[in-house]
Structure 1
Amino acid sequence: MALHRRATAEGVGTLLLVLAASAGGIAAQKSYGVEPGLVRLTLALVLAGALVSLIVAFGHVSGGHFNPLITALQWLARERSGTCALAYVLAQLGGGLAGGAIGAWLWHATSKPVAGLRWEGFASETVASAGLMLVVFGCMRGSRTETGPFAVGAWLLAAILATPTTSYANPAVVLGALVSAGPVSLGLSSALPFILAQMLGALGAFALVAVIFPKAPRRT
């Protein structure tokens, strides 16, 4: 596969991994405060879920390193060319910086109601939906149908714990939440921003899918 596709997969995968770690840490701190055991447990679940899902989704493209140390050792072992290793490392470092910044931003992104709608969760749902679509399409385009449900479930575990909106990432779930009760219920003022955010995240993911994954055969 072309180097730009593989490097992009490493960059995006590292971004999502670090984003989950950054946002998950903030979420755990907000939920448990000074309870280090619970914070560590939450971070372990977030990182394990994110890493498993991302390796399954992106591994068939780039190897699923998401770590410059792995790439560097492969280069030292002469298993990867210098050009490829450099592209991977630059993508991983850039993805890590972006992921950390976005993870922190998600928990600080606030907005005032506009036209009666609440937009506080817009950023969270955009990122959560984009991540979910990347994992889903990564599994589908890699013909990993057996492990796809496992990868999607692992990603949702990480996203639910790490994102401020607990990752609805599905317009059908939002509509169900309108008539539901309990912690998953939503009001009309939040539903439309959530759905718009999910559509935006899905379209952003679709653009990345076109770069990272070869086009799947057309279904008849």
Structure 2
Amino acid sequence: MAAASFARRGASRRPWPGGARTCFHEADPEAPLVRRAAAEGLGTAMLVLAAGGAGLAAERAFGPGADLILPMLALTIPAALAGLIVAFGALSGGHFNPLITGLQWLAGDRSGRCLAAYAAAQTAGAAAGGVAAALLWGVRAGAGALALPSPGWPEAASEAAASAGLMLVVFGCARSLKPETGPFAVAAWLTAAILALPSMSCANPAVALGVVLTAGPAALPASALAWFWPAQVGGALAAFACIQLLFPRRGGAGRALLLQPGDPS
């Protein structure tokens, strides 16, 4: 009875025996859902604001198409994300990404109501952050995005790879029961992926929408969403299959088989 009431309030299900703390799960799953969703929306807005603003700042500093713009984005976006996860992670889990929330729901770690609230807040926050970045720099939101070339299969494959890698890092850290590792491991992966992959590695459907609504080097044409969203979801689901294989569950939902040194394999 109490468990049913817990799920109806939209709380995430405490995923670890003994209340062990993991990254990307809130410290208090019984905190009001509106507070946790608000943190997700605000954090996603700040992330997209940093991404869009960094692109516009780099363009003004170095000129359009300058070689230093990509390294600036690879520095700014992961740094902002790490800081936001540290700041909001204890309250909401620090997802700022519907893929993370969705895979937690698939794993049985989060209720459907919580998934819906988080995803809505993340999407609205990303849209607000994209528009705000353009307005703060005195550029019309979406300006220049229509002139950008539409992505194709290489960029879609890039987003699938970036999303799969990000989910493997997120869930690998979470299921290792080392909460302090998550923000910095995620930042490290994104830095590498932004530099190494041709799509700039959104790896996040909400962020992809946000950068469509911003301006400057970080902006995407609206047509990119038709390529990026399915690729991101596909990459995340492929990663989820790997996660279930590498971290099998036993004893019901929310319990991962985590072998410590000296345990029998």
TM norm structure 1: 0.48
Return the structure number with greater helix share: 1
TM norm structure 2: 0.40
